[in-house]
Structure 1
Amino acid sequence: MAIYVDADACPVKAEAERVATRHRQTLYLVSNGGLRPSDNPLVEMVYVTEGPDEADKWIAARASRGDVVVTNDIPLAARCVEAGAHVVKPNGEALTQANIGPALATRDLMTDLRAADPFRQGGGRPFSRADRTRFLDGLERAIREAAK
């Protein structure tokens, strides 16, 4: 089992490292750069080339059955779910075969709405302590399921 984190703009890298360390699992933090290396021997920093979706491509090429992926990127999540990996969003929500289709449809709809109305820009709510707690719980569940 490996844990892959789409680390660019991921708010739960430290939490993922703590959980991976507790379970003695390798954690890959994949980014375009700009992340401080970890001293933890279980954490591998992967720096991909600059460009759109390079980190996503790297993760999707490696994630497979029994792995866990942490990402907010719905198309990447869909590819990983299709490969049999367990996917957890930073807010703790699990993305599975049962809910990835509606998640992709919602993402596409929101993309179209933003394109149709350039003044419709919204950031959503800030990431909270409760989100971090839900992530820790969701990652624990994903790791236990992946280990089965």
Structure 2
Amino acid sequence: MNPSERTVFVDADACPVKKEIVEVCEQVQVNMVFVSSYSHTLTLPSTASVVTVDNEKEAVDLYLMNKARKNDICVTQDHALASILLSKGVSVISPRGLVYQEDKISQMLDARYLSQKQRRMGEKTKGPKPFRQADRIKFVEQFLKILS
């Protein structure tokens, strides 16, 4: 598929790889849309489209669910959003370079649910590991694979 026929959508509120996304999308000449809430200010080049939505909890997710189409790409770390987008034929990748797969998403959602349940019961759970340069490198490698 020709990259120019696809759009890269970015769940941009807490995305640590915005710069990398812009560089890769400019290199392969693919459209990119960064979606964030009003409480986040994005400074991006003119080659990137920026969509700002309400501050409501799921406003960014709802926009992405409604706009992303089959063969598009979405960058998000939200497992639930990834699950919905995968069912629409959207390729989904996390900022750490994890390419979400339909056959593994249920297990990821189950693990997330169990962690939330433990926290509600007052137990401590592990948070995400610190974001490292190796994560950026893995993201770019996987992102380029999806685009090619």
Q: Does 1:74 align with 2:79?
A: yes
Structure 1 residue ranges without an equivalent (≥5):
none
Runs of 4+ in 1 over 6 A off after TM superposition: none
Residue 42 of structure 2 corresponds to: 36
Residue 138 of structure 1 corresponds to: 142
Between 1:80-89 and 1:98-107, the stretch displaced more is 98-107
What letter is aligned with 2:146?
A
Shift of the alpha carbon at 1:11? 0.7
Q: Equivalences for 1:7-86 in 2 at 5 Å?
A: 7-33=12-38, 34-41=40-47, 43-86=48-91
TM-score (norm 2): 0.90
What letter is aligned with 1:37?
T
How many residue pairs get aligned? The number is: 142
CA RMSD of aligned residues (A): 1.3
Percent same amino acid among aligned pairs? 27
Shift of the alpha carbon at 1:97? 1.2
What letter is aligned with 1:52?
K
Once residues 106 and 59 of structure 2 are traced to their aligned partners in structure 1, the CA distance between those partners, rounded to angstroms, is: 23
Once residues 113 and 125 of structure 2 are traced to their aligned partners in structure 1, the CA distance between those partners, rounded to angstroms, is: 15
Structure 2 residue ranges without an equivalent (≥5):
1-5
Q: Quick check: 1:3–1:69 contact (8 Å CA) kept in 2?
A: yes
- Deviations 1:42-93 (Å, cap 9, x if unpaired)? x100000110010010001111211000000011101100100000011101
